[in-house]
Amino acid sequence: MSNAQSLTSPPISVPAMTLVTLGGAFNMRNVSPFCLKIEMLLQSLNISFDLAEQPDPRKAPKGKLPYLEVDGKTLPDSELITEYLNDLTGGAVYAGLTNQQQAYGVALARLTEDHLYWIMVASRWLDDNWWPNVVDGFFHIAPALIRPLAAGAARRQVRQTYELQGLGRHSISEQRGFAERDLQALEYAVEGQDFLFGDTPNIFDFTVAGVMSGIYDNQPPTWLTQMAQNYSKLQAYTERVQEHTGIYGRK
C-alpha cells in the first residue's frame, strides 16, 4: 500500500482511510476509471490515504469498486464516496462551482460514466480480436483448467449487462456512431481551456479524465482507442488532468 503525498496545502485532519481499487491490467496501473477518479479526488483534497487492491469485484460491497474503508465503515460506489468526502470537507469537492456548472458537470459525468464507459468495456470484452487480452489481464490468476470457463462466464455476464444497458442491442457500426458523438461532445466541452471550470481540475475533470485515460492508454489499443486518438484536444486535456494531480491511469 502507498500513501498519497501533499500537493500544496497541509493535509486535512480526517480519520485513517484506505481506498480499495481494482488494480492494474492492459498496461494500466489502475484499470477502473471509477477508482482513478476517487484517487485523484483524494489527492486534490490533500487527504492522506492508503491504497489497497481487490482484484475480485465480487468480494467488494455491492460487487463494485472502489470502496473506501474509514472509521471502521465501508463506503461503496464512487459517487457515494464523493458525497461523503464533500460532507467531510465542508463542501470542498464542489467549492467555487456555480449551480449551473454543477449541473453541466453532472451531465458530462453521466455521458462519460453511464454511456461512453460501457462502449469502452465492450471494446475490450466483446471484441473477439481483443478478448485474449482480457483473459490474460483479468483471469491469469485462475487455474489454467478453469480459466476458459471463468472467463467465458464473465464475458457472458458483460454481454448481458451491455444488452440491458441498451447499447448492446445496436450494431457495431451504430455503437461506433454513439462513441463518435460522445467523444466529439467531450472535445467541445474541453476546447479552449485547461480544465472544465477554471484553472484547476475538480471532480468532474477527474470523472472525464478517468474514463479517457483508460481509453487512451490501455494496451494494445482497442478500436475505441484508435477512434479517440482523432480527438487531440481531448487527449491533451486528459494528460493535463493527470499531470496536475500526479495520478496517472497508466503505469
Domains recognised in the chain with CATH numbers: 17-94 (3.40.30.10), 99-244 (1.20.1050.10)
- On the question of pLDDT at 45 being above 80, the answer is yes
Higher pLDDT, 63 or 120: 120
Q: How confident is the model at residue 1 (pLDDT cuts 50, 70, 90)?
A: very low
Pairing mode, if any, of strands 17-21 and 73-76? unpaired
Q: How far apart are CA 251 and CA 204, in angstroms?
A: 23
Q: Structure pTM?
A: 0.92
* Cα–Cα separations (whole angstroms), residue 34 to 19, 104, 200, 214: 11, 19, 20, 11
Mean pLDDT of the residues in the chain: 93
Q: How far apart are CA 26 and CA 136, in angstroms?
A: 9
- Could you say which DSSP state residue 232 is in? H
Query: For the segment 26-35, what is each residue's pLDDT rounded down to a tens digit?
Result: 999 999 999 9
Pairing mode, if any, of strands 67-70 and 50-53? unpaired
- Provide the pLDDT for residue 6: 40
The three-state secondary structure class of 45 is: coil
- Provide the pLDDT for residue 142: 83
Q: How far apart are CA 146 and CA 189, in angstroms?
A: 45
The three-state secondary structure class of 130 is: coil
Q: How far apart are CA 43 and CA 19, in angstroms?
A: 12
Q: How confident is the model at residue 140 (pLDDT cuts 50, 70, 90)?
A: confident
Query: For the segment 89-106, what is each residue's pLDDT rounded down to a tens digit?
Result: 999 999 999 999 999 999
The answer for residues whose C-beta is within 8 angstroms of residue 28's C-beta and 6 or more apart is: 213, 214, 217, 218, 249, 250, 251
Q: How far apart are CA 84 and CA 68, in angstroms?
A: 10
CA angle in degrees (0–180, nearest 5) for 77-56-147: 145
- 219-222 — which CB contacts under 8 Å span 24+ positions? 219/26, 219/27, 220/130, 220/133, 222/120, 222/123, 222/124, 222/127, 222/130
